[in-house]
Amino acid sequence: MSGASSPFISIIIPVYNGGLAFQNCLKSLFAHLPKTEEHLAEVIVVADGCTDGSDLIAEKFGATVLRTEAPRGPARARNIGARKARGEVLFFVDADVTVHNNTVDKVAQLFQTQSTLAAVIGSYDNEPGAPNFLSQYKNLFHHYTHQTSSEEASTFWGACGAMRRAIFWEVGGFDESYEKPSIEDIELGYRLRRKGYSIRLCKSLFVKHLKRWEPVSLLRAEFFYRALPWTELLLRQEQVNNDLNLNISTRISVILTFGLIFSTFLGILWTQAWFIAGAFALALLICNLPVYRFFQRQRGTWFMLKVIPWHWLYFAYCGLAYGLGNIRYFFKNDKSNSLVLSESDEEKAPV
């Protein structure tokens, strides 16, 4: 397939009041768009109820701009952009990332040389845009996760992910019931895999994340918009893939974290429990030593030490979300079953 022509790439960006990060996203894209007839690309921006003029800025850059009256989330916005797209390949990019100089070209090359490739996802780079500790930690952790995961991915990624347009519509596009930035890309990836399509994680396909995370915004997004709905998605499909944030090490760490929490509280009543808590803490450190060595190499020892409590908090709220998600799923199913049984009894009742 090396002699195949390069596919036309439609770059689709959903945006809601994108601000300076969105302007930087557009600057990077238009600076690095393919310049030859061999490699063709278009940029489609879907202004999802914007009120800050992001749509006007995109028009000045030369993007095709589509507008919605009210924000309904990136899933719907991406589908709107995909309907307008002319390209054989849809390349979804978030409004708060910038691309590297070879990002778009690499997407085109991957689909040009690999005829069986249905979708590809990239990785955050190791130089996040926001300078504060929490943003550096979270975005570097994403980078580490991408760089250490299997290249045969089981999920899609909307921040930097491309897919053949025909396959995108064959599986139904993004699920628009997700009206907030959530796990709509993960859910799409699961549908792709169930259909037998391959998703490749290309570890050299980079974007830079510019988002600034603060404690409240991070915990709200991680817990309510990712962990809880992801748990319900896993329960619906009755399968847990050993990939990305669901690997064996993470699952073991969640169990160790709750063992540490329980034994720490138990230590108030029983002194010997402190030794058990110490054992759980040591096990957590050993289990996640590669992660902490990564942070030490990237940002030094003091940064690594600050990472550890946040990383353990991550395991705690993941475990809590998994527990609550199971409870919600059980009661939702129980209620649905009750309604079905009730309707069945009504049908059997004599007239």
| CATH class of residue range 9-213 | alpha beta
Residuewise pLDDT in 10s, the chain (351 residues): 445 678 999 999 999 999 999 999 999 999 998 765 556 899 999 999 999 999 999 999 999 999 999 999 999 999 999 999 999 999 999 999 999 999 999 999 999 999 899 999 999 999 999 999 999 999 999 999 999 999 999 899 999 999 999 999 999 999 999 999 999 999 999 999 999 999 999 999 999 999 999 999 999 999 999 988 988 888 887 665 545 556 788 889 999 999 999 999 998 888 898 999 999 999 999 999 999 999 999 999 999 999 999 999 999 999 998 888 888 877 776 555 454 444 445 554 444
DSSP 8-state assignment for residue 3:
T
Local structure of 114: helix, strand or coil? coil
Spell out the long-range contacts of 303-309 with Cβ–Cβ below 8 A and sequence spacing 24 or more.
303/133, 303/136, 303/137, 306/133, 306/137, 307/137
Location of each CATH 3.90.550.10 domain in the chain = 9-213
Residue 121 Ramachandran class (φ > 0 left, ψ -120 to 50 alpha, else beta): beta
pLDDT at 38: 59
Cβ burial of 180 (10 Å; 0-12, 13-18, 19+) is middle
Q: Say what the pTM is.
A: 0.89
pLDDT at 344: 47
